[in-house]
């Protein structure tokens, strides 16, 4: 599947490439690339057919947006053919209580600042980076709707929020006739599947396209790490790798490596191919520090895992979900025991 076989994002007409290029590594983030290398990576991604680039005001305290803006935003011929997404929420102004979060004052100021750094008149997809425990959702969603109506933003999404909060935001917008959310950005990989309990089913029901971040779990699923090596390449990655220094994670990495050898591919491609096959996933966000890394990730588009390989990866990475997820898996058989409905097979009735 070529990168330019596009997908519509959620319940919208916005067409995005099968992978999104993440801008968190653009600039000095302790594990990133300088401006020149970032430009080369962006150009290569676009040449391969990619049109979706994601960043945030938080990345490098605005430097990622500035690199993208200098290279793409200042070139209308390039910019208008791309889907550029960025995020608000991060406070870039010390001790200013209105400098971050999701209140109207913060959102408006953050959007204007991102537009300046990106050197563009509009943001294609504007994300709330993480939820605000204080701002009323009505205020947040009305402020975002005003940005869309003003032409400064095209579409809206939420990232890193509780499922119930996303649903409340979506229903608030629909009730008032405001522009709804079309996308959800969450961490999702073979090493982080707990989102399958609430967030993925919610996204499917609410018409949200899912763009997983850290699909290789900070590099843990790339093939660089495992039982023989758990030393991070840089101090910026140390914490990310340390969180998976446990037997469960190492067993998952072992299985990914085994499947990669079996099908003559790489661990990164196997992990990405598994993720792309999951319900609701529109465009995983891939980060790359080199062209070689980018090409390796894009190679996942040509990889279709065999059913037995998918089954093994699902088995070894099967997550422990919060109640009532596991209970409802069993309870469903009480209604449809021994039957197949919408392609889902139910076991025997547990209470005959």
Query: Tens of pLDDT along the chain (352 residues)?
Result: 789 899 999 999 999 999 999 999 998 655 678 999 999 999 999 999 999 999 999 999 999 999 999 999 989 999 999 999 999 999 999 999 999 999 999 999 999 999 999 999 999 999 999 999 999 999 999 999 999 999 999 999 999 999 999 999 999 999 999 999 999 999 999 999 999 999 999 999 999 999 999 999 999 999 888 788 777 776 666 777 888 889 999 999 999 999 999 999 999 999 999 999 999 999 999 999 999 999 999 999 999 999 999 999 999 999 999 999 888 878 888 889 889 998 888 888 877 6
What dihedral angle (degrees, nearest 10) is formed by the CA atoms of 194, 199, 204, 206?
A: 180
48 φ, ψ to 5°?
-80, -5
β-strand pairing of 344-345 with 340-341 = antiparallel
What element of type H or E holds 261? helix 247-262
Exposed, middle or buried: residue 343 (CB in 10 Å: 0-12, 13-18, 19+)?
A: exposed
Per DSSP, 33 falls in state B
Beta bridge partners of 344: 341
Which of 99, 102, 241 lies closest to 159, judged by CA?
A: 102
Q: Which residues contact 268 (CB under 8 A, 6 or more apart)?
A: 216, 221, 222, 223, 296, 297, 300
Handedness of CA 190, 191, 192, 194 (dihedral sign): positive
- Integer Cα distance of 62 and 40 in angstroms: 19
Query: Which is nearest to 172 in space by CA: 142, 150, 200?
Result: 142
What are the angstrom distances between the C-alpha of 70 and each of 42, 79, 118?
12, 11, 7
d(CA 45, CA 37): 12
Q: In the prediction, which pLDDT does 31 show?
A: 64
Residue of 98, 86, 90 whose CA lies nearest to 61: 90
Alpha carbon distance 24, 59 (integer Å): 5
Kindly give the pairing relationship between strand 7-8 and strand 15-16.
antiparallel
Supply the pLDDT for residue 240: 76
- Cα 319 to Cα 189, 194, 305: the distances in Å are 11, 6, 20
What are 34's two structure tokens? 């300088």
Give whole-number Cα distances, 201 to 10, 270, 276, in Å: 13, 24, 16
Q: Give the integer Cα–Cα distance in Å for 302 and 52.
A: 19
Task: Assess whether 336 carries a catalytic annotation.
Answer: no
Residue 174 has a pLDDT of: 97
Residue 16's pLDDT is what? 98
Question: What are the two backbone dihedrals, phi and then psi, of residue 302, each rounded to the nearest 5 degrees?
Answer: -95, 5
- From the list 59, 88, 126, 225, the catalytic residue is 59
Helix then strand count (H, E) for the chain reads 13, 12
Helix ranges restricted to H, 88-189: 104-118, 137-150, 163-176
C-alpha span between 45 and 285 (Å, rounded): 12
């Amino acid at each position: 599947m070529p990168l330019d076989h596009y997908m519509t994002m959620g319940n919208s007409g916005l067409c995005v490439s099968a992978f999104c290029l993440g801008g968190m590594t653009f600039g000095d983030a302790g594990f990133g690339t300088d401006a020149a290398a970032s430009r080369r990576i962006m150009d290569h991604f676009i040449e391969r057919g990619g049109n979706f680039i994601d960043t945030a005001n938080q990345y490098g305290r605005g430097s990622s947006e500035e690199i993208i803006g200098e290279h793409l935003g200042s070139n209308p011929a390039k910019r208008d053919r791309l889907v550029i997404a960025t995020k608000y929420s991060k406070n870039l102004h010390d001790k200013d209580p209105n400098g971050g979060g999701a209140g109207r004052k913060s959102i408006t100021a953050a959007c204007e600042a991102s537009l300046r750094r990106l050197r563009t008149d509009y943001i294609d997809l504007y994300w709330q980076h993480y939820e605000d425990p204080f701002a009323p959702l009505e205020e947040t969603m009305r402020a975002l709707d005003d940005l869309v109506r003003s032409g400064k933003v095209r579409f809206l999404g939420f990232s890193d929020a509780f499922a119930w909060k996303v649903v409340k935001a979506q229903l608030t917008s629909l009730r008032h006739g405001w522009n709804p959310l079309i996308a959800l950005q969450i961490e999702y990989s073979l090493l982080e599947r707990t989102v399958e309990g609430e967030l993925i089913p919610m996204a499917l029901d609410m018409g949200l396209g899912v763009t997983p971040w850290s699909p290789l779990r900070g590099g843990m699923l790339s093939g660089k790490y495992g039982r023989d090596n758990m030393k991070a390449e840089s101090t910026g990655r140390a914490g990310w790798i340390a969180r998976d220094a446990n037997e469960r994670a190492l067993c998952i990495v072992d299985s990914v490596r085994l499947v990669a050898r079996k099908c003559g591919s790489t661990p990164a491609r196997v992990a990405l191919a598994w993720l792309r096959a999951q319900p609701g996933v529109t465009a995983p966000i891939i980060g790359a520090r080199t062209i070689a890394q980018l090409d390796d990730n894009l190679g996942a588009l040509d990889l279709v895992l065999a059913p037995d390989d998918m089954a093994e990866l699902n088995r070894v990475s099967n997550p422990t979900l919060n109640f009532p997820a596991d209970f409802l898996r069993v309870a469903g058989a009480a209604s449809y025991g021994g039957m197949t409905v919408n392609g889902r097979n139910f076991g025997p009735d547990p209470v005959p």
